[in-house]
């Protein structure tokens, strides 16, 4: 078995760079060959990952955050290369969805066990029409504005960065027209935000689509309708527990494809990465990615 360890040195404010040697050492004995791939930019990581997959690497292991995992998903999707994710970033939502321990060394040991056993499974991916794959959640509206804000912040680290961005964007909250079209349903409403989940989590562990399943062939849609700031403030604490679905302003759908549109000028984010402005269409691609079990 040939594996590649793709490292984002800046992830986790340098955590990935500090532990990369130890992680590689623990993994090296589990495979016939381990190539360590390190780049100083997202474009460089994408190039190294593509070269490794094109060369036929059996397993791509990322050591970083959701941005690096998203990069690896783009090249591993639809290929024989399996993906494993060791969390060392800010959000770590894909690692969480895959059941990886939050501690990178514990996740490394779990990955080593899976490498020895050769256990893999296939999961679904979402795909933006004409755009990229995503493994976690695509969002637009208030939550994508939060993502835009998070990308400008350098402090604090970890999930608290999302909390600060939420508070900042609340001051600008204004519902906008939204149209959600699925295989058999159309919603037209004034909305605050919409999330399309291939898996449950975004924003550093928020289960915005708490019932989403990685291999059911469907996308889960969570829509928050028109709300005042004080109403949204009541909903936000429930997000961490998944109890927001009980709020009367929240609607949920499940579908194979979803089209989002409306006169709202919203920008979509997927896996924490900026996508296109609405309108856009998202589809579920069953079994598109092999992951290390």
* Counted domains in the chain: 2
Please check whether residue 92 is in contact with residue 102, taking contact to mean a CB–CB distance below 8 angstroms: yes
Question: pTM value?
Answer: 0.91
Tens-digit pLDDT profile for residues 50-76: 999 999 999 999 999 999 999 999 999
Query: Do residues 137 and 274 both lie within one domain?
Result: yes
State the Cα–Cα distance between residues 123 and 119, nearest whole angstrom: 13
Omega prior to 23 cis, within 30 of 0: no
CA–CA separation, 210 and 262 (whole Å): 25
On whether residue 126 sits in a domain, the answer given is no
Q: Are residues 141 and 114 in the same domain?
A: no
pLDDT tens string 138-194: 999 988 888 778 777 777 766 677 778 888 888 888 899 999 999 899 999 999 999
> Which residues constitute the domain of residue 204?
133-286
pLDDT digits (tens, 9 = 90+) for 7-51: 998 787 788 899 999 999 999 999 999 999 998 888 999 999 999
Contact in structure between 257 and 281 (CB atoms under 8 Å): yes
Residue where the block lists tokens 């709020």: 247
Closest alpha carbon to 148 in 260, 282, 262, 267: 267
196 and 81 share one domain: no
Q: What is the CATH number of the domain that holds 58?
A: 3.40.50.10330
pLDDT in tens, 249-266: 899 999 999 999 999 999
* 166 part of a folded domain: yes
Determine the Cα–Cα distance for residues 165 and 172; give it in Å rounded to an integer.
11
Asked whether residue 155 falls in the same domain as residue 267, the answer is yes
Please tell me the distance from the alpha carbon of residue 256 to that of residue 22, in angstroms, as a whole number.
Answer: 41
Q: What tokens appear for 85 in the block? A: 């994710």
User: In terms of C-beta density within 10 A (0-12 exposed, 13-18 middle, 19 or more buried), how is residue 61 classed?
Assistant: buried
């Amino acid at each position: 078995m040939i594996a590649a360890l793709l490292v984002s040195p800046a992830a986790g404010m340098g955590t990935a760079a500090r532990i990369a040697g130890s992680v590689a050492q623990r993994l090296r004995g589990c495979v016939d060959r381990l190539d360590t791939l390190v780049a100083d930019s997202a474009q460089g990581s994408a190039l190294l990952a593509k070269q490794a997959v094109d060369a036929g690497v059996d397993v791509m292991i990322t050591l970083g955050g959701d941005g690096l995992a998203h990069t690896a998903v783009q090249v591993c999707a639809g290929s024989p290369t399996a993906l494993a994710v060791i969390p060392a970033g800010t959000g770590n939502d894909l690692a969480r969805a895959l059941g990886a321990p939050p501690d990178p060394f514990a996740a490394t040991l779990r990955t080593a066990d899976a490498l020895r056993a050769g256990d893999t499974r296939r999961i679904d991916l979402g795909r933006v029409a004409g755009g990229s794959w995503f493994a976690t959640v695509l969002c637009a509206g208030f939550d994508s504005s939060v993502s835009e804000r998070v990308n400008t912040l350098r402090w604090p680290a970890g999930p608290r960065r999302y909390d600060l961005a939420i508070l900042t964007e609340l001051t600008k909250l204004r519902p906008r027209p939204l149209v959600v079209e699925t295989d058999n349903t159309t919603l037209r409403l004034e909305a605050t935000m919409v999330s399309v989940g291939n898996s449950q989590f975004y924003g550093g562990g928020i289960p915005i689509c708490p019932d989403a399943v990685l291999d059911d062939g469907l996308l889960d849609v969570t829509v928050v309708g028109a709300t005042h700031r004080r109403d949204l403030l009541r909903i936000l604490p429930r997000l961490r527990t998944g109890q927001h679905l009980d709020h009367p302003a929240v609607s949920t759908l499940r579908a194979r494809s979803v089209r989002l549109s409306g006169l709202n000028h919203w920008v979509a984010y997927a896996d924490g990465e900026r996508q296109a402005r609405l309108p856009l269409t998202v589809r579920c691609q069953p079994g598109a990615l092999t992951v290390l079990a």
